[in-house]
Structure 1
Amino acid sequence: MEKFIYIALFAPLVGSLIAALFSTQPKTAFTGWFTSFMLAVSMYASLNLLHFIYTTDTILQITLFDWIVIGNLNIPFGFVVDHVSVVMMTVVTVVSTMVHVHSIGYMEHDKGFNRYFSYLSAFVFSMLVLVMSDNFAVLFIGWEGVGVCSWLLIGFWYHKESATWAANEAFIMNRVGDLGLLLGMFLIYWNIGSLQYDIVFAQVSTLENSTLVWIAALLFLGAMGKSAQFPLHTWLADAMEGPTPVSALIHAATMVTAGVYLVIRSNELYTLVPEVGYAIAALGAFVAIFAASMALVNNDMKRIIAYSTLSQLGYMFVAAGLGAYWVALFHLATHAFFKSVLFLGAGNVMHAMDDELDIRKMGGLHKKMKSTSIIMAVASLALAGIFPLAGFFSKDKILEAAFNADALVLWGVLWVTAGLTAFYSFRLVMKIFFGEQNYSNEEHHPHEAKNFVIAAMIPLAILAVIAGWFEHSFVEFVTKILPTWKASNLNHSTAWILILITSAVAIFGIAVAVYKYRNSGFSKNWETTGIYKLLSNQYFIPKFYENFISKPYYAISVWMWKVVETKLIDASIDGLAHFINKLGVGIRPIQTGNLSSSLRLMAVGLIFGLVFALVLSVL
């Protein structure tokens, strides 16, 4: 089975390198289909590995080469395929394959077609390095790889200032979190002497509690940056400047899920410091309702779905923080399927509406785009957590985990968020497909996407429906290495009551959205209220960052350049050079080449030297 590990890992890299050869050439469909084929090969290998590990419970580990060997530091470039990593590999490759195929249609008329597919496949390769690594150092290589590729893809249309700004924001914001991850890795090596997962997690229980808290907190800081948790969250919505399939990949299968994966992978550590775990869960619950509230009023189609991702990441961190690691991984997987469908569907709508993003300028598109409409409606039902779709099974388990842990405040926050999620999901669907038409037929000529584009979405839509049905098999599989979480405080009747209550609030949210947006929606007076302005301006957090962080930092940088660098450092170095030059010019006359003059100078120098030595001896 070792060959399948190499195939799964390196097939996307081969596709990326081949596409890169054509990066400066005019668009050729070959690059799109070849990279898609290589992703399909990687998906096939991943599915084979999943089947092998499911049937044999064998953990596969390989070492490509010895990477860093210095003294006691020995870091191999190695990979492990176990019950957790193979689930991630499967999710990443399945979603990425469909995104690649969809992108062939979406990017059909783009001049950077070849370059795009090179970046996209490199993105997937970096994510596979991240999830397949058997130590923190190789994980960090993949971690930075997805960061670089996201920068390239978010700023893909670099001629747009908004795209380059968003790419830089995402890159810089992630560097803040990455510093925390690096410091956590340094602490691990300082105290354990290794970065290998098996060695670290075998010895982590021997460390002092304060050290464990610091390591856990620093690793989570890295997760906060990558998974866009408050206050490092602003880049996620702005990342919508990139091509829409990129958003599907970032939000569903790569990058933002890396932070959740890091916490799940480090479960042995977080189990030892439940106080850090509870802090993670509390922050996750806050982010869940915080992001959902902003999605309620936003009118940008892609940003609404982006805020939804941010909210669902909060759900995942609640589960992981409370020790229900398999639940977090389960929701990560189901979320990947319905969220990728929503973004790909949004891409279809953008093409149909000449890149329009404002949902207030849409409406009535169901007649023109029935396939996209039905698929997005199904995905929205899954996101809302409606039975029997995938989101119902995974989201309800997170609410059960919160209730079981007696974290009733967190449960209440997540319950309210479930209602908000259902509302904004169907607000989006109604405003785009079923509401009143708000565009002129002369301005737009909406049409359905090509057949192969729709075909790429169908497998993901099917998984968004049926993935939750495999809950018991999933639990049995991943709990071979993850802690077995059970709702020990819940009896059967209580669990059913919780399910009914959560389903009721979700159905209520859908009903309100359908009723209100079937025609005109809410009154325009709502948009003049303070709460609307607060939500539509993202709680004024971006303005706060701009006025109290970015502008002061820029002003300090300008002052440092003008005063410290130019007047102090540059002036002192220039002054020293000028002084030495003048000194040289001043003493040049003594170099006459006359032997008598040279002897006299030597005698004078000898006398001064003797006098100086005499003075020193007396003192």
Structure 2
Amino acid sequence: MEKYVYIALFAPLVGSLVAALFSMRGKIAFTGWFTSFMLAVSMFASLNLLSFIYSTDTVLNITLFQWIKAGNLNIPFGFIIDHVSVVMMTVVTVVSTMVHIHSIGYMENDEGFNRYFSYLSAFVFSMLVLVMSDNFAVLFIGWEGVGVCSWLLIGFWYKKESASWAANEAFIMNRVGDLGLLLGMFLIYWNLGSLQYSHVFENIASLETSTIAWIGILLFVGAMGKSAQFPLHTWLADAMEGPTPVSALIHAATMVTAGVYLVVRANELYVLVPEVGYAIACLGAFVAIFAASMALVHNDMKRIIAYSTLSQLGYMFVAAGLGAYWVALFHLVTHAFFKSVLFLGAGNVMHAMNDELDIRKMGGLHSKMKSTSIIMTIASVALAGIFPLAGFFSKDKILEAAFNGDAYFLWLILWITAGLTAFYSFRLVMKVFHGEQNYSNEDFHPHEAKSFVIAAMIPLAILAVIAGWFEHAFIDFVTKTLPTWEASNTASSTVWILILVTSAVAIAGIAYAVIKYRNGGFSKEWENKGIYKLLSNQYYIPHFYENFITKPYHQLSVWVFEVIEIKMIDNTIEGIARLINKAGGKARVIQSGNLSSSLRLMVLGLILGLVLALVLSLFGGVK
């Protein structure tokens, strides 16, 4: 099976390199189809590995080559294909393949067509390195690789100032988190002498609890940056400046879930410090309702879905923080399917509406875009957590984990968030596809996307429906690697009550959105309310960052440059240079070759030598 590992990993890289050969040329359809084919090959290999591990329970450990070997430091470039990593490989390649095919239609008129597919396939390769690695160092290579590719793709239309700014914001914000991850890795190596998962997790219990806690906190700081958790969250919404399929792949299904994957992968560490896990769960619950509240009032279609992603990541961290690691992974999988569909559907709407994003300028598109409307509605029902779609099974398990873990306040927050999620999901559906037409037929001519674009969305939509039905098979599979979690403390009747209560609030949220926006929505007076302004301005956190961090830091940088760099350092160096130059000019007479000058200097030297000898003899003779 080793060949399938290499095929799964390197097929996207081959596609990226081939597309890069044509990056400076005009659109060549071959690059889009070739990279999509290579992703399909990677998906086929991943599915074969999934089938093999499912049937044999064999864990594959493969060393590609010895990477770093110096003294006691030995880091191989190795991979582990176990029950967790193969699930991630399957999700990444399935979603990536469909996004690549969708992108052929979405980017068909873009002058950077070839470059786009090179970047996108390079991202998938980096993501596979991240999830397949068998040590923290190789994981960090993939971690930084997805960061670079994300920067390239967010700022893909680099001639737009907003796109360049958003790309830099995402890159810099992630560097803050990555510093935490690096420090955590250093602390692991300092105490255990290895970065191999197997060695680290076998020996982590031998360390002091405080050391384990610090390692867990620092690793989670890295996860906060990559998964856009508060306060490192602002980049995710701004990252919507990139092409929409990029948002579907990177900012919904893969890269932003890397932080969740890191916590799940390091579960043996976090089990030893439940206090750190509970803190992670608390932050996750806060982010869940925090992001959902902002999605309630936003009018930018892609940003609404981005805030939804942020909220669902909060759900995943609640499960992981409370020790229900397979539940977190389960929601990661189901969320990848229905959220990627929502972003791809948003891309269809943008194409149809000349890149318009304001949902207030849409309405009535169902009759013109029935396929997109139906698919996005299905995904929204899954996101809301309605039976029997995928979101119901995974989201309900997270609420059950909170209740079973006696985290009743967290359960309440997640329960309220479930109602908010259902409301904003169908607010988007109603404002875009139903109700009155809010655009001019002269300016806009909405139309359905091409058939192969819709075809690429259908498998993801089907998975958004049926993925939850395989819950028990998923549990049996991943708990061969992850700790088993069962709601043993919760009676069966209580579980059913929790399910009914959660489903009720979700259905109520959908019903309220449908009724409210069928009748025209909220009045304009609502937009003058303080709470509306607070939510629409993201709680003024970006303003706080700009006025109290970005601007003061810029002013400090200017002062350091002008005062420290120019006036002190540069002037000091230039002063030394001028002094040496003048001294050299004065000493030049020594090398003039003039006999008279040489004799005078010789006599002067002789006199100085005699005076020095006299002084030494006088003082040297005194005892």
Cα distance in 1, alignment partners of residues 128 and 69 from structure 2: 24
* 3-state DSSP of counterpart to 1:272: coil
Task: Verify: 1:161 aligned to 2:161, yes or no.
Answer: yes
Q: Look up the match of 1:147.
A: 147
- Alpha carbons of structure 1 residues 609 and 154: separation in structure 2 relative to 1, 3 Å: farther
* 3-state DSSP of counterpart to 1:216: helix
Q: Look up the match of 1:347.
A: 347
Q: Look up the match of 1:603.
A: 606
- Alpha-carbon offset, residue 615 of structure 1: 8.7
Cα distance in 2, alignment partners of residues 253 and 47 from structure 1: 18
The answer to whether the 8 A contact 2:253-2:335 is kept is no
1:88-487 to 2 correspondences below 5 Å: 88-487=88-487
Cα distance in 2, alignment partners of residues 573 and 598 from structure 1: 32
Task: Verify: 1:591 aligned to 2:591, yes or no.
Answer: yes
Question: 1:190-222: per-residue Cα shift (whole Å, max 9, x none)?
Answer: 000000000000000000011001100000000
Cα distance in 2, alignment partners of residues 26 and 608 from structure 1: 84
Cα distance in 2, alignment partners of residues 42 and 400 from structure 1: 35
- Alpha-carbon offset, residue 604 of structure 1: 3.7
Counterpart residue identity of residue 504, structure 1: A
Counterpart residue identity of residue 137, structure 1: A
The answer to whether the 8 A contact 1:252-1:337 is kept is no
- Alpha-carbon offset, residue 611 of structure 1: 6.2
Question: 1:562-597: per-residue Cα shift (whole Å, max 9, x none)?
Answer: 000000000000000001111111222243433533
* 3-state DSSP of counterpart to 2:271: helix
- Alpha carbons of structure 1 residues 33 and 602: separation in structure 2 relative to 1, 3 Å: same
Q: Look up the match of 1:46.
A: 46
* 3-state DSSP of counterpart to 2:519: coil
The answer to whether the 8 A contact 1:234-1:542 is kept is yes
The answer to whether the 8 A contact 1:277-1:322 is kept is yes
Deviating more after overlay: 57-66 vs 578-587: 578-587
Task: Verify: 1:559 aligned to 2:559, yes or no.
Answer: yes
- Alpha-carbon offset, residue 519 of structure 1: 3.0
Cα distance in 1, alignment partners of residues 129 and 178 from structure 2: 17
Counterpart residue identity of residue 146, structure 2: V
Counterpart residue identity of residue 606, structure 2: A
- Alpha-carbon offset, residue 436 of structure 1: 1.2
- Alpha carbons of structure 1 residues 19 and 608: separation in structure 2 relative to 1, 3 Å: farther
- Alpha carbons of structure 1 residues 562 and 366: separation in structure 2 relative to 1, 3 Å: same
Cα distance in 1, alignment partners of residues 503 and 165 from structure 2: 41
The answer to whether the 8 A contact 1:436-1:519 is kept is no
* 3-state DSSP of counterpart to 1:147: helix
Cα distance in 2, alignment partners of residues 581 and 89 from structure 1: 65
- Alpha carbons of structure 1 residues 602 and 42: separation in structure 2 relative to 1, 3 Å: same
- Alpha-carbon offset, residue 606 of structure 1: 2.5
The answer to whether the 8 A contact 2:212-2:269 is kept is yes
- Alpha-carbon offset, residue 610 of structure 1: 3.8
- Alpha-carbon offset, residue 298 of structure 1: 0.0
Question: 1:263-316: per-residue Cα shift (whole Å, max 9, x none)?
Answer: 000000000000000000000000000000000000000000000000000000
TM-score by length of 1: 0.99
The answer to whether the 8 A contact 2:424-2:513 is kept is yes
Cα distance in 2, alignment partners of residues 70 and 518 from structure 1: 68
Cα distance in 1, alignment partners of residues 298 and 408 from structure 2: 29
- Alpha carbons of structure 1 residues 610 and 314: separation in structure 2 relative to 1, 3 Å: farther
The answer to whether the 8 A contact 2:352-2:445 is kept is yes
* 3-state DSSP of counterpart to 2:561: helix
* 3-state DSSP of counterpart to 1:447: coil
The answer to whether the 8 A contact 2:32-2:100 is kept is yes
Question: 1:483-541: per-residue Cα shift (whole Å, max 9, x none)?
Answer: 00111110100000000000000000000000001131011111000000000000000
* 3-state DSSP of counterpart to 1:22: coil
Cα distance in 1, alignment partners of residues 450 and 518 from structure 2: 28
- Alpha-carbon offset, residue 371 of structure 1: 0.2
TM-score by length of 2: 0.98
- Alpha carbons of structure 1 residues 609 and 232: separation in structure 2 relative to 1, 3 Å: farther
- Alpha-carbon offset, residue 439 of structure 1: 0.4
Cα distance in 1, alignment partners of residues 29 and 73 from structure 2: 46
- Alpha-carbon offset, residue 414 of structure 1: 0.2
1:573-588 to 2 correspondences below 5 Å: 573-588=573-588
Deviating more after overlay: 432-441 vs 37-46: 432-441
Counterpart residue identity of residue 120, structure 1: L
- Alpha-carbon offset, residue 600 of structure 1: 1.9
Question: 1:389-421: per-residue Cα shift (whole Å, max 9, x none)?
Answer: 000000000000000000001000000000000
Q: Look up the match of 1:78.
A: 78
Cα distance in 1, alignment partners of residues 400 and 40 from structure 2: 36
Q: Look up the match of 2:23.
A: 23
* 3-state DSSP of counterpart to 1:489: coil
Counterpart residue identity of residue 364, structure 1: G
Q: Look up the match of 2:530.
A: 530
Cα distance in 2, alignment partners of residues 94 and 604 from structure 1: 91
Counterpart residue identity of residue 514, structure 1: V
- Alpha carbons of structure 1 residues 604 and 14: separation in structure 2 relative to 1, 3 Å: farther
The answer to whether the 8 A contact 1:305-1:342 is kept is yes
Cα distance in 1, alignment partners of residues 31 and 408 from structure 2: 52
- Alpha-carbon offset, residue 473 of structure 1: 0.2
Counterpart residue identity of residue 599, structure 1: M
The answer to whether the 8 A contact 1:223-1:258 is kept is yes
Cα distance in 1, alignment partners of residues 559 and 138 from structure 2: 40
RMSD: 1.2
* 3-state DSSP of counterpart to 1:449: coil
- Alpha-carbon offset, residue 598 of structure 1: 4.2
Q: Look up the match of 1:57.
A: 57
- Alpha carbons of structure 1 residues 614 and 88: separation in structure 2 relative to 1, 3 Å: farther
The answer to whether the 8 A contact 1:284-1:313 is kept is yes
Aligned residues: 619
* 3-state DSSP of counterpart to 2:66: strand
Counterpart residue identity of residue 523, structure 1: S
Query: Which structure 2 segments of 5+ residues have no match?
Result: none
The answer to whether the 8 A contact 2:254-2:336 is kept is no
Cα distance in 2, alignment partners of residues 607 and 38 from structure 1: 87
Cα distance in 1, alignment partners of residues 249 and 544 from structure 2: 30
Q: Look up the match of 1:8.
A: 8
| Percentage of pairs with the same residue | 80
- Alpha carbons of structure 1 residues 28 and 615: separation in structure 2 relative to 1, 3 Å: farther
Cα distance in 2, alignment partners of residues 201 and 321 from structure 1: 18
Cα distance in 1, alignment partners of residues 377 and 253 from structure 2: 21
* 3-state DSSP of counterpart to 2:23: coil
Cα distance in 2, alignment partners of residues 522 and 215 from structure 1: 48
Cα distance in 2, alignment partners of residues 19 and 597 from structure 1: 77
Counterpart residue identity of residue 473, structure 2: S
Cα distance in 1, alignment partners of residues 547 and 331 from structure 2: 37
* 3-state DSSP of counterpart to 2:286: helix
Cα distance in 2, alignment partners of residues 227 and 315 from structure 1: 12
- Alpha carbons of structure 1 residues 610 and 368: separation in structure 2 relative to 1, 3 Å: farther
- Alpha carbons of structure 1 residues 221 and 588: separation in structure 2 relative to 1, 3 Å: same
